[in-house]
Amino acid sequence: MTRTHPQVSTLPGLQLPPRKTYTALSAAIDLEAVFSLLEGRWKLLILFNLFGGQVQRFSDLEKRIDGISQKMLAQQLRQLEADGIVERTDHGEVPPRVDYRMTAWGQALCPALDGLLQWMEQCGQR
């Protein structure tokens, strides 16, 4: 597989870990794992409403994402939380107040997804 190496350490002292090596099979399997984290009718909508660092309440997301049901919002958030992509905070108040934000790891998805968008933008040039 062609790589984007060499990895330039821009920050002195920041040690980037050595890259994994892949076979066609293992690369496909790992990428399937990535996709399984992101697949789901509403996950990308949720993520793009959280990239940027906002902290959003359940009801905020419900308002911002047109057409989503409470069941689906809760389900997709649970999965994103279980996968370490978003963080959930229950303030334990009555009436309930719960909010969501990206984890550091989840936030790192943003530039990676942007790479896919850039690729899609090249579509016209083919």
Partner DNA sequence: CCGTATCCCCCATGATACTG
Partner DNA sequence: CAGTATCATGGGGGATACGG
Closest separation between CB of residue 117 and a second copy, Å?
6
For the chain, the straight-line distance linking the first and the last C-alpha, in angstroms and rounded, comes to 22
Residue type, 106: G
- Neighbouring C-alpha atoms within 13 Å toward the C-beta of 47: 26
The single residue among 37, 65, 98, 110 that binds DNA, judged by CB under 7 A, is 98
User: Longest Cα pair distance anywhere in the chain, in angstroms?
Assistant: 56
Map the footprint of DNA across residues 10-29, applying CB under 7 A.
none
- Cβ at position 113, least distance to DNA in Å: 17
Please choose, from the candidates 36, 58, 33, the residue with its C-alpha nearest in 3D space to the C-alpha of residue 46: 58
> Site size for a second copy, by CB under 8 A?
51
Q: Is residue 78 within 8 Å of 40, Cβ to Cβ? A: no
- The entry of a second copy, DNA, none near residue 78 (CB within 5 to 8 angstroms by kind) is DNA
Residue 112 to residue 76: CA distance in whole angstroms: 21
Binding mask 15-34 for a second copy (x = CB under 8 A): --x-xx-x-xx-xx-xxxxx
Interacting residues with a second copy (CB under 8 A):
1-4, 17, 19-20, 22, 24-25, 27-28, 30-35, 38-39, 44-45, 47-49, 51-52, 64, 84, 103-105, 107-123, 125-126
